[in-house]
Amino acid sequence: VNGKVEIPVVVNVLYRTAAQNISLAQIQSQIDVLNQDFNATNSDYNSVPALFSGVKANVGITFVLQSVVRKSTNTTSWSTNNAMKKSAKGIAPTTPTTVLNMWSCNMGGGILGYAQFPGGAPSTDGIVIDDNAFGNTGTASAPFDLGRTATHEVGHWMNLRHIWGDATCGSDLVSDTPTHNTANYGVPAYPHYSTCTGNPVEMTMNYMDYTDDAGMYMFSNGQKSRMAAIFVSGGARAGF
Ligand code: ARG
Ligand code: ZN
Ligand code: CA
């Protein structure tokens, strides 16, 4: 990369019903949300508590919709086995070393989405988002209708871990985020104290927790550094 990171995005839409063939407006709404959340222009950014005002980050990465690929399917519901990324039943990714591929498809309600971390196979690289959690208009459905599933999954795609480190009082490998007991859900009341060492106030409003879309509205500076590291020369996503 030279200076600013700009991410071209291809959105792959798999639909069995007309409703699943989400509109271009719904797709663009997701790109807009990513640009807001990664540039600290989200309307709820000023809701970050004063306690975290010193670590909240403008990540400074932009997203541009390059194209939309659509395909009709007989598949009722998809799982995390990456079948949606294979041309047999799904849509193969477009140049994954230089493009963020997103798939919109019906995950059947069990999971909102999933991502591949940097360093994985190019053929399965990208993020998958349930069609009812895609963007913030059209068929997006509360409480996951603010486009934050993609913000969270792009966080993983840029090497971020869950804020609770996927273990009780686990580590997310980021030093400016507090240690969380476990995942938080819904929209937790502030302050929510951890029972981990030191009883820190948990950063439940971080995109890498599991709250409702309305409950998450910040990345931290440490997360920003971790994301930036993959785009430099020699990094796992240096092609961008
Ligand atoms: N991979 C997570 C899951 O589906 C995504 C959670 C996204 N959270 C959200 N509020 N949109 O379990
Ligand atoms: Zn996650
Ligand atoms: Ca941490």
The finding on whether 113 has its CB within 6 A of some atom of ligand 1 is: yes
How far apart are the C-alpha atoms of 33 and 188, rounded to whole Å? 22
Please report the ipTM that was assigned to this predicted complex. Answer: 0.92
CB distance 114 to ligand 1 below 6 Å: yes
| Beta sheet of 61-72, edge-to-edge order | 61-72, 5-15, 100-105, 127-130, 113-115
> Please, which residues have CB within 8 angstroms of residue 114's CB and are 6 or more apart in sequence?
80, 127, 128, 153, 156
CB 130 within 8 A of CB 122: no
Ligand 1 atom closest to residue 143's alpha carbon, by position in its atom list: 10
- Rounded distance between C-alpha atoms, residue 54 and residue 26, angstroms: 34
Give the residue whose CA is nearest to atom 12 of ligand 1. Answer: 111
The pLDDT tens digits for 122-161 are: 999 999 999 999 999 999 999 999 999 999 999 999 999 9
User: Model pTM?
Assistant: 0.97
Q: Which ligand is nearest to the CA of 161?
A: 2
Which residues participate in catalysis according to the annotation?
153
Q: Which residue has the tokens 């971080």?
A: 206
